Every structure is written in C-alpha cells, then in structure tokens.
Amino acid sequence: MTDAAESPRTHFIRQIAEADLASGKHDRIVTRFPPEPNGYLHIGHAKSIVLNFGLAESLGGICNLRFDDTNPHKENLEFVEAIQKDVRWLGFDWDDRLYFASDYFERLYGFAVELIEKGLAYVCDLSAEEMREYRGTLTEPGRDSPWRERPVAENLDLFARMRAGEFPDGSRTLRARIDMASPNINLRDPVLYRIKHGVVHHQTGSAWCLYPTYDYTHPISDALEGVTHSLCTLEFEDHRPLYDWVIANVSVPSRPRQIEFSRLNLEYTVMSKRRLTDLVGEAHVDGWDDPRMPTLAGLRRRGYTPAAIRVFCERIGITKSDNRVEMAMLENAIREDLDANALRRLAVLNPLKVVLTNYPEDRTESIELANHPKDPELGTRTLPFARELYIDRADFEETPPKGFKRLIPGGEVRLRGAYVIRCDEVVKNADGELVELRCWADLDTLGKNPEGRKVKGVIHWVSAEHAVAAEVRLYDRLFNVPMPGAGGSDYRADLNPESRRVLIGAMLEPNLRGVLPGERFQFEREGYFVADPDSTSERPVFNLTVGLRDTWGKSQS
C-alpha cells in the first residue's frame, strides 16, 4: 500500500477529533456511515466511507454502519446488501454495529410525543402546496400555519390517530414549532413526520404508515448510538441548526456534533443518485455495475482495487471548499497500483496473421518471459512459439508515417522476447483487404541482437495455434465533457457514444485460459485489464480498466 494509504493526511476534521480526545471531551471517537438504501454506492460515497471508518480506526475509535431507511418507497434489500458488500470490499467492517434508522422508529415516535408535550411540535393540516406558500422566501418571512396553536391534547390525539392509519397520505403532518421568521428556511417549522400508506418496509413490513423525516431521524439516531462526530457533506450545513435543535429538545443520552465537508465532484461523470438511477432505468448503461458507472460495483467490475480507491480518497483530501477533481487523479491511482501488482501478459486485440516462411512447420518451442519486469520474485511463464503467429494490426503499416518504428514492408522488428523478423510479402484478399503477412525470421536472434544492424521496434505476438479467443470490452469515460448537464442542459446529451467498444476476436496468450473473474493483468503495450464475470473457462471476457498512460487530455486538447 502507498504512503498515502498507510499515513492518513491530516485535515480539519481530524484536528477537531484529536483535540476532543486530548481535552478529555470524548474518551473514544465514534462516527457513522449512514447511506440511504435507494441505490448503489458511488465513488463519492467512498470518500465518506474512507473518512468515517478511516478516521475512527486511526484514532482508536469505532464507526457504525447505519441505513437511513425512512423513505421506503424507493428502498429495497438489494441496495442494503449491495452497500454492505461495497463497504467490506473497500476494507472496512462494522463488527456487530449494523443499524437501521427503522430500529428506532418506536423511540423516535416517543421523542415526537415529547416534543408535542413541550409545545414544540404540532399536527398541521396544510397540504404540501399550501405549506410551500406559507414558508416564505429567502427574503420574506414565512407565515404561521392556522394549526400552529392547536392545544397539546389535540395534537397528541391527532398524532396517535395518524399512526393508527386513520388519515390519508398528505392530509396531515407533524411539524416542529420553531420560528417561521427565521432567516434559515430549515427552521421554519419543518416537517418531522408524514403519512405513507401502502408501503411494505424492508425491515418493519406493514407495521407503520407514519414515517419520520431525515432531518428529524438523523440527529436522534446519532445520539442513541453515541456518535461523537457526525460527518456530513456541505449541503447539510444549513441543516445543522435543525440538527442541534432536535438534539437540544429531546431527552437523548448524548450530544453529537455535526461537521460538514465538501462532497466529491468528479469530472466526466455524474454523482446524483437520481441521475444514476435514470441512467440504469433508461438503459443508457447495463445496470448499476456497468464498468462505465462511478458506482463502486461498476469500478470493481472495471478492475479498480480497494487500495487504489482508498489512496485516491486520501489524495483528494478533506476540505470545506467545493472543487472539481480531475478523472485523471482516479485513473492515476489505479494505474500506479496495477503497475506494481498486475502480472504481464501478451494479448493481440486486433489480430493480423503472420507466417514465418523459414520457420519449420512442425516446430514449436517455448519462450520464457517475466511475469513482471520490475519484480523478479513474481517469476516467469513460458509461451509457445510456432510458425504462424498473430500480431496487432496497428503494428504494421504498408505506407508508414514518419517516425513509425514497427513493422513495414522490407523492415524489421523484434517479437517480444523472441526473434527479429522481416516483412517480405503483404497478402490481400480480392477486395484489397490485408489478410496476412509473410515474414522471414532471423533464427540467430533469440536472446541477442542481430549482427551488423540495429532493430529499434519491439511488438507483441501470440502463437496462432495456441492462442485463446476472447471478447475484450474497451471502456472509456461515460461522458464527453467534464461537467455533464452544465448550464441546465440535459446531461444525457453529453453521453459519450464511444464509451464502450467490444472486440470479439481478440487473441490471448494461452496462460490466460481459465482465469477467474476479477483477476487483473497488464496486457503489454495495451493497458490494464480485468476478467469480467461473463467469462467462461474456454472463452474469457476482459474489461479495460485503464490505459498505460493518460491519452484523454491530449485527445481533447
């Protein structure tokens, strides 16, 4: 693991937590990661996971996993299970501290009763549209609801009947009684409970038709779990006064502190869960784990490693300033990881047949190549070498451009780890299409340079007889522009039509037969690839994780 992963960088939240420990305010740091189970986690959530779990772990504390399951219309167990899988995949665990906001529904109801009894909450009959009219604007104060002065006894009775299912959806809400003239709109008597009939909750079934809001549930859940530092993204900064109000006015056992940090804004993708849901639902991608998606499931299928994602999250840091992060930072993190750890293999993505006319037809020999040029401890493997080979079409030019150092008519190149060959004949079909090269092999050049001449080019190859046929999926960035949908335009218009290309007839060295899904390799001179779950024992499928170098910036300049 890199230094960034071994030694987490300091930041303002770490400094606050360290000061709280040093002063004796807290004996132990307790954080939480509170995802909504209404979609798959994405790379932005990874930043929060690494912060919450990593901070607690590095300071000898604990981090809880708590599902914010207060909106069952959009939630299901598929998302619950996927989220747990992703957190564990990143390298973190919560031991026995798996919680659901729904675990606290009864206690949340009791705290709401407490607020009513204190005169700090009331049942309101305004519709959602009327409530918006009464709320006011950023420059004008709101107006009191006609139901704001309901007697406590009447509020208690109505609230109990709301729970019992007596009233239809949208007919009544429970609202906090705070300040309709507050400059912070979040304090203008926010809704604490709303009625939702006909929902089967994935944890509580049909037991409830009355559901608490996030702004009410979150602070109480934190307090009940003994959370010391509740870390949220900046969009919750204006909600902090409400968070503190709730904590101050109900009899919870602890007083957590909410701290906000900037969310991850990654170029060439979208982070809105609504937009990601639309991409899946409208079939712009092949599901939540499509390798073009910024979801952790998609990144895993594309070949990203937990270590690379953790390093990326450490590098971008924790601040209170919104900023955009270049996709190249994420790509560089995985490129560095795989450069150090991925075994090397030969793969011809666009095969062109080569016949070595002076090589014996009945001869097959073994060529030994290193598994990793920088790590001798990873050993070597052998490749069969025979008369008929495949090279990549891009490594031959009949009319070469200036500076072309690969194979040309009459020119020589070295086959990686094998012989120097010379192209003597170009074979085309009736349509004038290139189908085969006939070449001469200098059989005295295995492991040594030819005498009297210098060969600069080196290309990769596979034996035609022994090659493994494969499907290779070349993935690129999902969007063509750094900020999809900028200026209010439809972000779908910015989708990259070339974000996936599928090569059916790729030819791989035989050592890649029978690879397991998730195994990662560097295809020499091509990039880093991972075996996809669609692979079979006889026909592997590989996904491009990232190229050997960043070519996107150059192509866009």
- Which residue of the set 263, 381, 405, 422 is catalytic? 263
Write down the H helix ranges in 59-163.
Answer: 77-89, 105-117, 128-135, 152-163
Catalytic residue among 36, 267, 365, 397: 36
Residue 68's closest CA among 194, 213, 239?
Answer: 213
Q: What is the dihedral of CA 500, 503, 504, 507, to 10 degrees?
A: -140
Q: Name the pairing type of β-strands 191-195 and 541-547.
A: unpaired
Catalytic-role residue among 66, 188, 273, 414: 273
Residues 94 and 282: their CA atoms lie apart, in Å, by 35
The DSSP element (H or E) to which 388 belongs, if any, is: strand 388-392
**Euclidean distance between CA atoms 209 and 191, whole angstroms:** 16
Tokens 């070469």 -> residue: 400
Q: What is the DSSP string of 466-521?
A: TPEEEEEEEE--SBSSSSTTGGG--GGGGB-TTSEEEEEEEEE-GGGTTPPTT-EE
Does 263 participate in catalysis according to the annotation?
yes
- For residue 459, give the amino acid letter: I
Burial 22-31 (b: 16+ CB within 10 A, else e): eeeebeebbb
Structure tokens given for 247:
């904590």
Alpha-carbon distances, residue 112 vs 16, 108, 120, 155 (angstroms): 32, 6, 9, 11
Using alpha carbons, list the distances in angstroms from residue 167 to 106, 196, 259. 20, 10, 38
Distance from C-alpha of 179 to C-alpha of 274, rounded to nearest angstrom: 32
C-beta separation of 188 from 196 below 8 A: no
User: Which tokens belong to 380?
Assistant: 């070597």
Quote the crossing angle between the two packed helices 12-23 and 43-58, to the nearest 10°. 30
Active-site annotation holds for 36: yes
At residue 125, the 3 state secondary structure works out as coil
Q: What are phi and psi of 286, to 5 degrees?
A: -100, 45
Q: Which residues are catalytic?
A: 36, 263, 273
